[in-house]
Chains A and B, each alone.
Chain A
Amino acid sequence: MKSIRILLYISIILYMTAVEPALATQAHGAPEGLYAHQFSHLFFIFAMGILIYWLRSRGLVQEPGWRYLQYAGLFFLLWSVDAFCVHLLDEQFQWITVDRMDPWQIRIYAPDSALWLAPVYYLIKLDHLLCVPGMVFLLLGLRRLSRRSEAQRAAEGDGL
């Protein structure tokens, strides 16, 4: 009985230490990068939405500085939705394909059942029209906040 047990132990040890390809780590294919990027867009949309909600619910938007930051958050949110849709159409679902005809023209292919997607895709490709205003509002907000903070500091300094 004892010898059987010893034999069993030896078998288990040999099985566990046998030279085999490691299975602990998972291989990552190309689509995983796209999924991670799309999730990052969704997370970003959620974070900007929450930021706008907090700014409004705490009444901070009464101050011009925070109000501009709210607008910045809104434009970044819209930009992220825009970018998510572009990735969805041309990379994830591959409903849209684009060919360069020459340096000045491109051809957009859309499924026959949804040809309207072609002009929509063309428009949402202009995503900088959303993220640039977002940055402008961020800059305006920071400028207002820093001016107010400096004025407040100066007033405190005068009061001392």
Chain B
Amino acid sequence: MIVPAMPIRIVDMAGSALMILLAFFCMQRVIRLRRSDPDNLVWTYLVWLCCCLAGFAISRSGGHILKQFLFMAGQERLWADIGAAAGSINTFLLIIVAAVTLFFNRVRHVYQQISTDKQALETAHNELLELNQSLEKRVRERTDALVQHEKQMAHADRLASIGQLSSGIAHEINNPLGVIQGYTQLLLRDADEGSQRHSDLQIILKHAGNCKAIVEDLLNFARRSQPEMADIDIHEVIEDALVFIRHRSKMENVRIEKVFADNIPAMRMDEKKIKQVLVNLVMNAGHAVAEDGTITISTRFDTEGRKLMVDVADNGYGIESRHLSRIFDPFFTTKPTGEGTGLGLAVSYGIIKSHGGDIDVKSEPGNGAVFTVTLPVGKTALPGGLQHG
């Protein structure tokens, strides 16, 4: 059979040249692949495979091209010598490529195992780190809470001791004061109006009355007087307290903002005493903001804990941290002498405690203060919120 030689020759020459060219491109690409992730064992395997394949392609194709040139030059005998060596190299490289290929599955399996172990180690490391951080945070939080709790306990103990002392003193003073007031009123009946004796007795009666008020405050602080409980609407009590303050104090320029929650149930409390607390807190806030400031009164209801919170916040000059621990002590005041007895907050503390609640203050100098009154809402209270106009 006679056939044209050119197709075979062209395919052989062009194919060989292409094989060499492609082998170089493959090498370039596989090196880039390995550089992208040098730890990847599968890429290392591919480098080996491509190296052997490129070696084979170059050896075989180079041999073919050389053979064609030698045949064209009539050097068939020379090719017979070179061809044997080239063929041996081809055989050798072909076996290496095949041998390397057989390791593919094992290499991939090993790499997967390493990757899985690495991932597991990283996960465990991160979890440990997170646990450690979480533990440190929890210890810090618990320590802070403990310190805070200890401070509160110490404060409560101190106030209880003061209350006990005050209660004893007030009780002892209350009876003689009553006698003084009684006898002064008897003497006043006999004294002529407008006489020196009458005005002196009036002064005695007035100051005895002042003393009586202080003693009552002390008794309120010491929780000796039982609150008279009734169902009340806290928002109405707040409104009444504000009306009272507007009539009795000079707070025309102070802005009062109200943020009332609409889910507050009716509550059983002593209306007068709660009003007294609110008056005390708002008056204090008024003093703190001076003439031009804002007082915000807000109510919140914790449905889960069944607690009512009333916040009285001002944007005044705030309270220094050294005063915060003594703010509810009787007779403690930062006001100038004669402007306050220092019993307002102590009495408020006593009233709130007698209702089973708590009163707290948060303040930073220059950023105002927030007094929070927390009162328990009994289960007997009416369900649902009260309607406010």
Contacts and interface: CB of A to CB of B under 8 A. Distances in A.
Interface stretch (B101-109, B242-250, B251-259, B290-298): B101-109
Given A37-B90, A58-B108, A128 B3 contact: no
**Range for the number of chain B residues in contact with chain A:** 35 or more
A143 interface: yes
A47 B98 contact: yes
A40 B60 CA distance: 14
**Range for the number of chain A residues in contact with chain B:** 35 or more
A132 B22 contact: yes
B6 A143 contact: no
Contacts of B94: 37, 40-41, 43-44
Contact of A46 (B4, B30, B36, B98): B98
Contact of B97 (A47, A125, A127): A47
A97 B31 CA distance: 44
A108 B16 CA distance: 23
Contacts of B381: none
Interface in B136-156: none
B37 A142 contact: no
B7 interface: yes
A90 interface: no
Contact of B8 (A44, A48, A126, A139): A126
B43 interface: yes
Contacts of B43: 145, 149
B91 A40 contact: yes
A37 B87 contact: yes
A106 interface: yes
Nearest to B1: A118
Contacts of B84: 33
A122 interface: yes
Contacts of A118: 1
A149 B91 contact: no
Interface string B24-48: 0110011011001100100100100
Contacts of A95: none
A127 B37 CA distance: 36
Nearest to B2: A107
A103 B4 CA distance: 9
A103 B33 contact: no
Contacts of A105: 2-5
Contacts of B46: 142, 145
Given A37-B87, A47-B102, A58-B108, A146 B29 contact: yes
Interface in A95-139: 100-101, 103-110, 115, 118-119, 122, 125-129, 131-132, 135-136, 138-139
Closest 3 CB pairs of A and B: A128-B15, A47-B98, A146-B33
Given A40-B95, A152-B37, 7 more contacts: A36-B91, A101-B2, A104-B4, A105-B4, A108-B3, A128-B12, A131-B15
13 contacts: A33-B91, A40-B94, A43-B99, A103-B5, A106-B3, A107-B3, A122-B1, A128-B11, A129-B15, A138-B26, A145-B46, A152-B37, A153-B36
